[in-house]
Amino acid sequence: MKLYVDIPLFDEAFAEIEHLWSECGHGGCDGIVAGLRDPATTGAGVELKIQCEVLGRLFDRLPEGFDLIAGAHDSMAIAAIAERSVAAVWLPPAASHQPELVRRAASLGVPVLAAVNGLGALRGFEALLKACDGVPTTLCYLAAKGEAILSMLIQLAWLRAKGYPVGLVTDDEVELQSAAALGAEVLVVSQARVCKEDWRDIADGLRRIADAARGSGPRPITRGEMDGLREEVPVLVAVRRLEAGEAITKADVAVRLLRQKGLAPFMLEAIVGRRLRYGLDPGGPLNFGFLKEPGEL
């Protein structure tokens, strides 16, 4: 799973590039999505040329292993990044002309992150899929503020069930966790979210959820199991059936977590060679009541 930060380049707040990298890197992110807009078509307040200059500064200071994804709202923005080796191109909702943008982005030879909101009729979605044919594409859902989480879950679950790589753009912690559990490959949040004190813990939790969704790593321990562990203690137990009168050897004993009382592991050396007063089944805990005293017949 990749975790990205969304940063619009036309915002003057992102002029300090080094500070930006530091915030994102310490937030456990894999890279940024830097959005470009052509003022002639989108009404953005900063010229596309200036935005590309900022993008160039990002390239020049890109930390190793950190992805830079160029967001393009129109064909002019895609043309402006054609000479850059971006990790991917992000295409926000563009309604009917989004398939054309996908084709233009595909000409750059990089993966595409395409929003699936705002495509209208099913034909719009089918046109997007046709444009993505042969292009590594992640279908991203943009969660709207105030939108019921059920709608988002149904969208992601349906796309995932159809075998499409999916992503989610949101600042909501529960939505991020849900998407990670559904197997989302990309999560995008705003820089404002990453700057909050609790973000690093949230990011670590999202990665654990993603690992669990893939079945990798150790099996998660439930709260009930954790409660049970607190009640169990390590004790010495028999590893085979031991008969009365047998002398104990190290090979006859192992350490197990039990809720029954028994001899602690550090007592092993003290009981080796002692004979049993009674028989003991495999897994049975040892205690001094089972052991004969030295010299006892």
- Does residue 296 belong to any structural domain of this protein? no
Domain shared by 16 and 139, yes or no: yes
Domain shared by 176 and 236, yes or no: no
The beta-strand segments (E) located in the chain are 2-8, 31-36, 67-72, 88-91, 112-115, 137-142, 166-169, 186-190, 233-238, 253-258
Q: What is the pLDDT of residue 31?
A: 86
Q: What is the pLDDT of residue 118?
A: 57
Could you list the residue range(s) of the whole structural domain that residue 234 is in?
224-290
Beta-bridged to residue 19, according to DSSP, are none
Q: What is the pLDDT of residue 151?
A: 85
Look at residue 158 and give its three-state secondary structure: helix
Q: Give the domain-ending residue among 196, 214, 232.
A: 214
Domain shared by 48 and 92, yes or no: yes
- Does residue 219 belong to any structural domain of this protein? no
Q: What is the pLDDT of residue 114?
A: 87
Q: What are the two backbone dihedrals, phi and then psi, of residue 172, each rounded to the nearest 5 degrees?
A: -80, 125
Domain shared by 57 and 192, yes or no: yes
Beta-bridged to residue 169, according to DSSP, are 142, 188
What residue type is 117 in one-letter code?
Answer: N
Q: What is the pLDDT of residue 143?
A: 86
Distance CA 197, CA 165 (A): 30
Q: Give the domain-ending residue among 190, 214, 238.
A: 214
Q: Give the domain-ending residue among 153, 182, 214.
A: 214
Q: What is the token pair recorded at 107?
A: 């000409």
Domain shared by 131 and 244, yes or no: no
Consecutive 10-residue runs of the chain (297 residues): their mean pLDDT?
82 58 75 74 64 72 79 75 78 69 81 76 73 87 83 89 92 94 93 85 91 80 64 88 93 89 88 92 91 80
Domain shared by 210 and 269, yes or no: no
Q: Residue 260: which CATH number?
A: 3.90.1210.10
Q: What is the pLDDT of residue 108?
A: 81
Domain shared by 171 and 242, yes or no: no
Domain shared by 151 and 187, yes or no: yes
Number of structural domains (the chain) is 2
Domain shared by 91 and 123, yes or no: yes
- Does residue 208 belong to any structural domain of this protein? yes
